[in-house]
């Protein structure tokens, strides 16, 4: 599957900012199994909504469940210690099957839709989530420059640098 070329124009901070914006629109709404909009999200519905909104040319490619995000060629694995805003975090259940996903906001915090809270930011050190193993995945096509950028959209000159 080809990578959406518009991804090079978006920074990791831009993905994280979009997640925060959508979280604001979903504030107070309960977790909804199978939910894919601001009326109620499940975890993969929240992540899909963010990426589909940012990459409209390939929005259908981002409509997948947690297992799809774990294996999708739209993302590549990165070391947990190297996580950056805009990457995805996947938590497996016991036995290793993926069962939860969110978006990294910074080295300390991620955001997702949890059954106990709805859309909310969570510290990686949270007693429940911090005790679980996790996988970090970066959208393919986002360079280190883009992942480290402090603004939402990079100019073509910056992307080429």
Note whether residue 159 is domain-resident: no
Q: Give the Å distances, CA to CA, from 115 to 26, 38, 97, 101, 119.
A: 14, 15, 18, 12, 9
pTM, to two decimals? 0.82
Give ∠ CA 62-59-158 in degrees, rounded to 5.
95
In a domain, 152, yes or no: no
What does residue 74 show for φ and ψ, rounded to 5 degrees?
A: -75, -10
Domain membership of residue 111 as a residue range = 5-145
**48-91 pLDDT, tens digit each:** 999 999 888 888 899 999 999 999 999 999 999 999 999 999 99
Alpha carbon separation from 122 to 84, 112, 161 (Å, rounded): 15, 8, 34
Q: Is residue 125 part of a domain?
A: yes
Q: Give SS3 for 98.
A: strand
* Structure confidence by residue, pLDDT tens digits, 82-136: 999 999 999 987 777 679 999 999 999 999 999 999 999 999 999 999 888 999 9
Interval 24-36: pLDDT, tens: 999 999 999 999 9
Helix residue ranges per DSSP H, the chain = 12-25, 43-54, 66-71, 144-148, 156-160
Portion of the chain with pLDDT greater than 70, in percent: 81
Domain total of the chain: 1
- Does a structural domain hold residue 95? yes
134 vs 155 pLDDT, higher one:
134
């Amino acid at each position: 599957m080809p990578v959406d070329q518009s991804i090079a124009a978006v920074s990791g901070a831009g993905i994280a900012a979009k997640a925060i914006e959508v979280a604001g629109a979903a504030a107070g709404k309960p977790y909804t199994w199978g939910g894919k909009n601001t009326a109620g999200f499940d975890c993969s519905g929240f992540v899909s909504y963010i990426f589909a909104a940012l990459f409209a040319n390939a929005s259908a490619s981002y409509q997948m469940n947690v297992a799809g995000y774990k294996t999708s060629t739209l993302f590549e694995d990165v070391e947990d210690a190297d996580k950056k805003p805009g990457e995805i975090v996947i938590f497996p259940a016991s036995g290793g099957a993926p069962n939860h996903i969110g978006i990294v906001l910074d080295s300390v915090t991620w955001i997702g839709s949890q059954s106990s809270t709805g859309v909310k930011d969570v510290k990686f050190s949270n007693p429940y989530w911090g005790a679980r193993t996790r996988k970090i995945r970066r959208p393919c096509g986002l360079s280190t420059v883009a992942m480290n950028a402090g603004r939402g959209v990079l100019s073509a000159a910056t992307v080429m640098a």
